Amino acid sequence: MAIQFSDKKLNEVKEIIARYPDGKQKSALLPVLHLAQEEFGGWLSSEAMDYVASLLSIEPIEVYEVATFYSMYNLKPVGKYLFEVCQTGPCMISGSDNIVAYIYEKLGIKPGETTADGMFTLKTVECLGACGYAPMMQLGKYYKEHLTKEKVDAIIEECRRNAVANN
């Protein structure tokens, strides 16, 4: 598959670049990488990164440096739904270990693994700023907070329903 933004997305890239002074288009790198990850299957292939470099007139290495530094960029394919469960201090004392264990029980995946059908990936992450609403996970753009086993069940069900509806 050739990597190429739609015209609509290319306009978005232009709008992002316009936020910075002339000649400082490299500042657009983080937002444009977010766009690329959303558009090209939830992860950044080297092809996608090279494409972003060409859009911003910078060297590919400048993109690789950044993509490997920040934890939100996935450098390998991930499942359709990425469960990012926080495990830092405040979530830990509120029972995040139990949530990770329960997801393993339900889906058979440990942190870093993806289900065989490519539907779910489990990742443990460090503090997401939801300490008062722990335990929690990030799912796509939003946070799922005050997690319990029942809530995890409901989230998994909802993902499966959405996957069917979108097919």
Q: Verify binding: residue 130, another protein, rule CB under 8 A.
A: yes
According to CB under 8 A, which one of 42, 62, 113, 163 is a site residue for another protein? Answer: 62
Q: Verify binding: residue 131, another protein, rule CB under 8 A.
A: yes
Q: Which residue has the tokens 């069917």?
A: 164
Question: How far is it, in rounded angstroms, from Cα 63 to Cα 111?
Answer: 27
- Residue span 108-127 as binding mask against another protein, x where in contact by CB under 8 A, dash where not: -----------------xxx
Nearer to another protein, 22 or 117 (CB): 22
According to CB under 8 A, which one of 5, 40, 73, 120 is a site residue for another protein? Answer: 73
| Strand arrangement of the beta sheet that strand 137-139 belongs to | 120-125, 81-86, 137-139, 142-144
CB of 78 to another protein, least distance (A): 14
Local structure of 63: helix, strand or coil: helix
Q: Which residue has the tokens 């700023």?
A: 129
Phi, psi dihedrals of residue 109, rounded to the nearest 5°: -120, 140
Nearer to another protein, 69 or 116 (CB): 69
